[in-house]
């Protein structure tokens, strides 16, 4: 785990602030899947109470990003079989989340999603997979947060966030056509969401996930 040289500023409750900070570190690849996190060491370096750190780590376990191993924690590292399982469950949940999000769409969501697409376009120009991955995560988090079913949001995070973290670890680069294909799907889904076309967004998300599975599961399953 990368050392933290200064105490971070945490927005909101310490538990959620630290959990969100560590989530960003994991999803950006700065803390890799399989890394160990020691509760006491983290509390000392960040000058936080052990109870606050423990609650933050438990929150990340709830999100599926950490697993408890004795007295320490480990960033979730999915086996090939677990990756397939997570993808299959996500394929069932996310299309419905898109349908619900379309019925609750806002202009703020449009601005956030358009920013994500601009970052994806820049990533494609630079062939920067890490940049693309970060924008992709933010794009989907926006949808999950906007739809009104909090249980569904939690399930999607638990199922999908470890996939995002492990995907960044497994891929250093993708071919140019993959960037273009990803952009096409994200732009289509954004257009349907903006139009508040719930059924169209659900169908598009389902097709996109199926195409992603067909093209990429062989990379994960060996």
Convert the pLDDT of each residue in 101-116 to its tens digit. Answer: 999 999 999 999 999 9
**pLDDT per position as a tens digit, 3-27:** 444 445 554 578 888 999 999 899 8
CATH code of the domain covering residue 38: 1.10.10.10
185/173 Cα distance (integer angstroms) = 19
Cβ neighbors of 11 (< 8 A, separation 6 or more) are 17, 20
For Cα atoms 23, 78, 2, give the angle at the middle one, nearest 5 degrees: 40
Tell me whether residue 177 is in a domain: yes
pTM: 0.81
Same domain for 66 and 113? no
Same domain for 193 and 176? yes
**pLDDT per position as a tens digit, 141-180:** 999 999 999 999 999 999 999 988 887 776 666 788 889 9
Where in the sequence is the domain holding 100, given as residue range(s)? 80-221
Q: What pLDDT sits at residue 83?
A: 84
Domain count, the chain: 2
């Amino acid at each position: 785990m990368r050392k933290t040289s200064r105490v971070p500023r945490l927005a909101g409750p310490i538990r959620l602030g630290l959990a969100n900070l560590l989530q960003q570190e994991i999803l950006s690849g700065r803390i890799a899947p399989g890394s160990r996190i020691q509760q006491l060491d983290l509390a000392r370096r960040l000058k936080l109470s052990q109870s606050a750190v423990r609650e933050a780590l438990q929150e990340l376990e709830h999100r599926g990003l950490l697993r408890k191993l004795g007295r320490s924690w480990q960033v979730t590292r999915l086996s090939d079989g677990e990756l397939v399982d997570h993808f299959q469950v996500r394929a069932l949940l996310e299309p419905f989340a898109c349908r619900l999000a379309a019925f609750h769409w806002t202009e703020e969501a449009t601005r956030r999603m358009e920013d994500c697409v601009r970052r994806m376009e820049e990533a494609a120009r630079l062939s920067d997979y890490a940049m693309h991955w970060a924008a992709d995560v933010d794009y989907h988090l926006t949808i999950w947060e906007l739809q009104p079913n909090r249980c569904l949001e939690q399930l999607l995070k638990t199922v999908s966030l470890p996939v995002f973290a492990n995907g960044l670890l497994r891929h250093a680069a993708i071919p140019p056509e993959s960037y273009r294909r990803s952009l096409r799907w994200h732009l289509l889904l954004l257009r349907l969401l903006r139009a508040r076309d719930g059924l169209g967004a659900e169908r598009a998300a389902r097709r996109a996930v199926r195409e992603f599975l067909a093209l990429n599961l062989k990379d994960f399953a060996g």
